[in-house]
Structure 1
Amino acid sequence: MSFSLGQKFRLTVYGQSHAKAIGVVIDGLPAGLDFPYTAIQTALERRRPGKKVWSTSRNEADLFEVKAGIVDGKTCGAPLCLEIRNQDMQSKDYAQHEYLPRPSHADYPAFVKYEGHHDIRGGGHFSGRMTAPIVMAGSIARYLLETSGIQIYSHIHSIAGIKDRLVDFAQPDFKALSELVNKEFPVIDDLQGQAMKEAILVAKEDKDSVGGQVEVIVDGLPVGIGQPLYDSCEAKLAHAMFGIPATRGVEFGTGFAGANLRGSQHNDPYYLDSNLTVKTLTNHHGGIIGGLTTGMPLIMRVAIKPTSSIGQPQASVNLDQQVNQELTIEGRHDPCIVPRVVPVIEAMTAICLLDLMMMDGQWPTISTKN
């Protein structure tokens, strides 16, 4: 199913942007694991809409409910079901798009594929609203990874061409990275972050939008996680990242810039550190070679397009009358979704890495007994 992800740690999302509820069913968790309620709700708070001027004004509390799978605060071995009730919907804003597709949205191909029966309200199941269930599942995966000393960090790498402070791929400043989770606008350099905010507000005033990139750094991964070829670490991560609406590109380490280097520049020489651990002097490979983790920090960047819903008049086609027609999109939309997508990318990263570890028989170190 296209709404399912993972082999050992497997999840299925359900719902639509304006349905009564959205949620996720998670399978593969053994009985007896502590349920990280606070971690899940904290992550949802980072993602939820309606908080700041750079976010949509749709105001969802995103308080989740446990529908199944938990007894006395621990997993019971049954599939885990978590749900969020949608509350602040304005479906009337989307009535015109039943036959008038919005540029750069899924409206037109969905109209053709589902023969006009798709849910147009808020983008239906194509909406970024569907990332909230991913955040719930990812919070559980992240909690389990952290018990094995695996930490996931991320920051806004850039917005509207304005870049945050660069991260040293081989020796990241983990102290600075650890502080990002407590920032409402997660950048290392707050001055650059202010410039990004101003660029977002300028776009908003112009009834326009801007995009950017999110960078993820993972520390503590053991060597050899991943499978050759189609279940490689990069393949699993990239597959999942493109399941996030608005993703337009994924790169690891030096990424596309590596195509402009010579091999002598791009290669990462090995050495033994003071603990006789094999490491590399540089980390152009971003912590993955041959689809397998190398023990170096995993470095990944995800490119996020400008929000497709903008307030300016745009050209479209009336699919009912078969004529060209101008449209102006109504409703509440983010002038930039990059800040809100940060916890979503972290969640997807955790889901994929936990699944890969379980595929390798490396269940994170955690006791299921009191």
Structure 2
Amino acid sequence: MAGSSYGTIFKITTWGESHGAGLGVVIDGCPAGLSLTEEDIQIYLNRRKPGQSRFATPRKEDDAVEILSGVFEGKTTGTPISLLVRNKNQKSADYSEIASYYRPGHADYGFDMKYGFRDYRGGGRSSGRETIGRVAAGAIAAKLLGELGIHFLTYTQSIGDISVDPSRFDPDEISKNTLYMPDANAADKAQEYLDQCLENKNSSGGTIECIVTGLPAGIGDPVFEKLDANLAKAMFSIGAVKGFEIGDGFAAAKATGLANNDAFSIDSNGQIVKKTNHSGGTLGGISDGSPLLMRVAVKPTPSIAAPQQTVNKSMEEIDISIKGRHDPIIAPRAVVVVEAMAALTIVDLLFTNMTARLDSVKEFYKPSRS
């Protein structure tokens, strides 16, 4: 199976299945000398692990990470970093009956058509648990970016038709509710809405916003390797993502040029800045020094207990009610996945950018003087 690797210089390869022995990732291209412990990675994994609330799958997993290589005496060595998370609470019997039919909204049919075979236990490689490797690697990427003063603020922006009110936006609130919403009032309303979804054996979609600050101007390329194009690929590689916007996104289609263009000015420090940020921090595929703003649409959880129509392998139309342990909403647990994929993309583009200018190469390799 191709397609399990991502990145050019800072490159990751994820591996494992939802109900296999474990999942993990190999990271190649991480510089030597970064302080790194299992605790640094675990903080990120704890944000996506199951069983955190009644709105997440009750599957009980510690998702404890083990560093198998690439770190010595608390620092990265420059060699490949291998990370492992063991599965400990699989209940494969919950999925035995779906081997004979195709679940609506899932990749079952596509897998059979592509490979002639599929791991039906929780979706195999198409399961949300595959993101464990991404999040573990993203934790390392985010720590690298932190060394450069680049930081992330990522949160659930909406659930169903309930959105965060900008006037009530409170970053400190994100970690205080299990839906990761920066608006306590919106979080309360969203919980009531999700309770109704559960009562109706249904699920909900949502949107996630990610804001990146401290990113310098000049990152990304003007044609196929645009910053926003790479971010779009990264976000669409997340299983449940169905839409991506940067800056004003689709709203730009309703704007005029005068309204959409961001005027440039000189700030009090003599630096070039934009007065607005409709572009979302990127122009022509290259970062412009403004905060990078992206938005991701996440579909409703397809595994629901309400009756649905499908087809089995005997070419019969049947009605099903999916059993097992499933999230009624994916978006809150995907917040950290979005952040991880953004961090991985930005680190790789930063490293690639180091050879864009000859003066930068000369500065790096200039002879030392005693």
TM-score bracket, normalised by the shorter chain, equals: over 0.9
Alignment match, 2:282: 288
Alignment match, 2:5: 4
Alignment match, 1:212: 206
Q: Distance in 2 between matches of 1:122 and 1:145?
A: 34
Distance 1:89 1:179, change over 3 A: same
The answer to whether the 8 A contact 1:211-1:336 is kept is: yes
Which stretch of the first structure deviates more once superposed, 273-282 or 53-62? 273-282
Offset of residue 322 of structure 1: 1.6
Q: Distance in 1 between matches of 2:185 and 2:4?
A: 39
Q: Distance in 2 between matches of 1:82 and 1:182?
A: 29
Q: Does 1:345 align with 2:338?
A: yes
Identity %, equivalent residues: 42
Q: How does 1:283-362 map to 2 (within 5 A)?
A: 283-319=277-313, 321-361=314-354
Query: Which secondary structure state, in structure 2, belongs to the residue aligned with residue 145 of structure 1?
Result: helix
Q: Distance in 2 between matches of 1:142 and 1:167?
A: 29
Offset of residue 179 of structure 1: 6.0
Distance 1:167 1:294, change over 3 A: farther
Q: Distance in 1 between matches of 2:57 and 2:139?
A: 23
The answer to whether the 8 A contact 2:173-2:181 is kept is: no
Match of 1:263 among 246, 257, 263: 257
Q: Distance in 2 between matches of 1:38 and 1:246?
A: 28
Query: Which secondary structure state, in structure 1, belongs to the residue aligned with residue 243 of structure 2?
Result: strand
Counterpart residue identity of residue 269, structure 2: N
Q: Distance in 1 between matches of 2:241 and 2:126?
A: 13
Alignment match, 1:276: 270
The answer to whether the 8 A contact 2:173-2:183 is kept is: no
Query: Which secondary structure state, in structure 2, belongs to the residue aligned with residue 316 of structure 1?
Result: strand
The answer to whether the 8 A contact 2:118-2:124 is kept is: yes
The TM-score with structure 1 as length reference comes to 0.93
Q: Distance in 2 between matches of 1:85 and 1:195?
A: 36
Query: Which secondary structure state, in structure 1, belongs to the residue aligned with residue 296 of structure 2?
Result: strand
The TM-score with structure 2 as length reference comes to 0.93
Query: Which secondary structure state, in structure 2, belongs to the residue aligned with residue 196 of structure 1?
Result: helix
Alignment match, 1:366: none
Per-residue displacement from partner, 1:202-241 (whole Å, max 9, x unpaired)?
Answer: 1011100001100011111100101112111011111011
The answer to whether the 8 A contact 1:224-1:293 is kept is: yes
Match of 2:234 among 225, 234, 240: 240
Q: How does 1:1-150 map to 2 (within 5 A)?
A: 1-115=2-116, 117-150=117-150
Query: Which secondary structure state, in structure 2, belongs to the residue aligned with residue 155 of structure 1?
Result: strand
Counterpart residue identity of residue 197, structure 2: A
Q: Distance in 2 between matches of 1:317 and 1:249?
A: 27
Match of 1:223 among 195, 217, 234: 217
Q: Distance in 2 between matches of 1:108 and 1:166?
A: 41
The answer to whether the 8 A contact 1:46-1:184 is kept is: no
Offset of residue 166 of structure 1: 3.0
Alignment match, 1:159: 159
Query: Which secondary structure state, in structure 2, belongs to the residue aligned with residue 295 of structure 1?
Result: coil
Counterpart residue identity of residue 210, structure 2: V
Point out which structure has higher relative CO (alpha carbons under 8 A, 6+ apart). 1
Query: Which secondary structure state, in structure 2, belongs to the residue aligned with residue 110 of structure 1?
Result: helix
| Equivalent residue pairs, number | 355
The answer to whether the 8 A contact 2:52-2:178 is kept is: no
The answer to whether the 8 A contact 2:38-2:67 is kept is: no
Counterpart residue identity of residue 153, structure 1: L
Q: Distance in 1 between matches of 2:103 and 2:281?
A: 39
The answer to whether the 8 A contact 1:36-1:140 is kept is: no
The answer to whether the 8 A contact 1:36-1:143 is kept is: no
Offset of residue 99 of structure 1: 2.1
Q: Distance in 2 between matches of 1:304 and 1:215?
A: 11
Offset of residue 185 of structure 1: 3.1
Q: Distance in 1 between matches of 2:84 and 2:134?
A: 11
Offset of residue 51 of structure 1: 1.4
Q: Distance in 1 between matches of 2:78 and 2:255?
A: 50
Query: Which secondary structure state, in structure 1, belongs to the residue aligned with residue 152 of structure 2?
Result: strand
Q: Distance in 1 between matches of 2:226 and 2:56?
A: 35
Per-residue displacement from partner, 1:45-95 (whole Å, max 9, x unpaired)?
Answer: 111001100101111110011112122222223211000000111111111
Q: How does 1:181-220 map to 2 (within 5 A)?
A: 181=175, 183-220=177-214
Q: Distance in 2 between matches of 1:197 and 1:118?
A: 35
Offset of residue 181 of structure 1: 4.8
Stretches of structure 2 lacking an aligned partner (at least 5 in a row): 361-370
Offset of residue 264 of structure 1: 1.0
Query: Which secondary structure state, in structure 2, belongs to the residue aligned with residue 231 of structure 1?
Result: coil
Counterpart residue identity of residue 309, structure 1: S
Per-residue displacement from partner, 1:325-352 (whole Å, max 9, x unpaired)?
Answer: 1111110100001111111111111100
The answer to whether the 8 A contact 1:155-1:342 is kept is: yes
